[in-house]
């Protein structure tokens, strides 16, 4: 891991143009509180639902205040001078904000899908978590499932529905789904998290509204077989040599672990560690690390599994989250704390991993050295 010898300016990115905007604020607040002030200076960077970038000005400290009235800035994509440049006269001074590393805490679209990661790569800034490819794959549950199948990691059977197919010929889509699955099924956007837009469909009459809802949030929709199972989650940390935490179990108080159960109501139980046999724990940890590698991830991920409730039930990998939640109820930090890594140490390790992989990227050549006079010849 990289050695941290100075107080680094850590840009904590939050908000964004996503259905998970509000969850991001709660996660970012936890990250900011968790950063060691002797090692890091946290710089909150909020992105509004409209896409405006803002940082706090003057006495603005609460993240919603930053979004409402912070200073408008723009992230430069110049690797020789990566910084936040003020836009116009919005108060708070006009000095460009230099950053040493970025901690993205943006869940969902335009934050977890590789878009922000691409901008940060262009700017030459180290950042926590997966790169462009891993982020894009992890966000697209359809593509992720295909790669996991190639890696011989069991996944829940699914059907992919494109929005244009559903809108053009809904009866055909319905027939294809019912040909493959019996009700109930789960319908959800293929590229979103936090259970946004997800519905458990019990009968044919519920299918169309569920597909309509999911299609509001994504161009591609997943319809999955319903598995009567325990929900097991495990956290992964590392780059080239990732490690898995102890597994935990989600016991929702609602029919399934939807957005309301996760964030709006109390009652869901988090069992850490999960009550599992030693062989099951090893299998879950092994598959989590294998999935982390198969999907080209780095830094962090939370890997979610279904363990069928019947005797000797099968284990399925449900999904991988490349920017897991960091709220007070989030499993990613809780699982590492139970494994022996408290929150502050966890954020420290994640920043070290970001610096480590950034240094490894810097070793890669992106240009070739042409013989003298060759450049002029190529230019005609």
Check 72, 140, 224, 319 and give the catalytic one: 319
Check 263, 296, 313, 345 and give the catalytic one: 263
- 319 annotated active-site: yes
- 302 annotated active-site: yes
Are the CB atoms for 235 and 257 separated by under 8 Å? no
Give which of 364, 289, 347, 363 is closest to 128, Cα–Cα. 347
- 233 annotated active-site: no
Check 30, 298, 318, 321 and give the catalytic one: 321
- 337 annotated active-site: no
- 17 annotated active-site: no
DSSP string covering 254-321: SSS--HIIIII-S--EEESS----HHHHHHHHHHHHHHHHHTT--EEEEEEEEEESSTT--EEEEEEE
- 40 annotated active-site: no
- 366 annotated active-site: no
Q: Can you tell me which residue has the tokens 């991920």? A: 301
Are the CB atoms for 120 and 135 separated by under 8 Å? no
Are the CB atoms for 27 and 325 separated by under 8 Å? yes
Check 24, 27, 135, 194 and give the catalytic one: 194
Question: What CA–CA distance (Å, rounded) separates 74 from 53?
Answer: 6
Check 11, 18, 19, 20 and give the catalytic one: 20
Check 325, 332, 348, 356 and give the catalytic one: 325
Are the CB atoms for 317 and 285 separated by under 8 Å? no
Check 112, 304, 348, 356 and give the catalytic one: 304
- 20 annotated active-site: yes
Check 302, 318, 332, 352 and give the catalytic one: 302
Question: And the tokens for 7?
Answer: 């107080």
Return the active site residues.
20, 194, 263, 302, 304, 319, 321, 325
């Amino acid at each position: 891991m990289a050695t941290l010898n100075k107080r680094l300016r850590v840009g904590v990115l939050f908000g964004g143009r996503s259905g998970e905007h509000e969850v991001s604020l709660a996660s970012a607040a936890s990250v900011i509180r968790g950063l060691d002030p002797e090692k890091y200076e946290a710089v909150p960077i909020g992105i509004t639902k409209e896409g405006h970038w803002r940082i706090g000005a003057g006495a603005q400290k609460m993240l919603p205040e930053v979004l409402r009235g912070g200073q408008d800035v723009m992230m430069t994509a110049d690797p020789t001078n990566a910084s936040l440049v003020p836009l116009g006269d919005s108060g708070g001074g006009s000095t460009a904000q230099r950053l040493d590393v970025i901690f993205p805490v943006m869940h969902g679209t335009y934050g977890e899908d590789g878009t922000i990661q691409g901008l940060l790569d262009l700017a030459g800034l180290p950042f926590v978590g997966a790169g462009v490819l891993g982020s894009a794959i992890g966000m697209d549950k359809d593509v992720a499932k295909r790669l996991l199948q190639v890696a011989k990691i069991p996944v829940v059977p699914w059907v992919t529905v494109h929005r244009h197919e559903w809108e053009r010929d809904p009866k055909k889509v319905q027939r294809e789904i019912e040909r493959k699955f019996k009700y109930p099924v789960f319908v959800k956007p293929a590229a979103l998290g936090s259970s946004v837009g997800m519905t458990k469909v019990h009968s044919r009459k519920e299918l169309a509204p569920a597909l309509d809802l999911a299609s509001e949030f994504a161009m591609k929709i997943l319809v999955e077989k319903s598995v009567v199972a325990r929900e097991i989650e495990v956290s992964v940390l590392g780059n080239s040599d990732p490690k898995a935490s102890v597994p935990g179990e989600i016991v929702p108080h609602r029919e399934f672990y939807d957005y309301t159960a996760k964030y709006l109501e109390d009652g869901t139980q988090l069992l850490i560690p999960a009550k599992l046999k030693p062989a099951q724990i090893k299998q879950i940890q092994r598959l989590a690390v294998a999935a982390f590698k198969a999907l080209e991830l780095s830094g962090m991920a939370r890997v979610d599994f279904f363990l069928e409730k019947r005797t000797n039930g099968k284990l399925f990998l449900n999904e991988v989250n490349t920017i897991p939640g960091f709220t007070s109820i989030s499993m990613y930090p809780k699982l590492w704390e139970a494994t022996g890594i408290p929150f502050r140490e966890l954020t420290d390790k994640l920043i070290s991993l970001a610096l480590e992989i950034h240094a490894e990227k810097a070793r890669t050549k992106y240009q070739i050295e042409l013989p003298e006079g060759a450049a002029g010849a190529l230019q005609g």
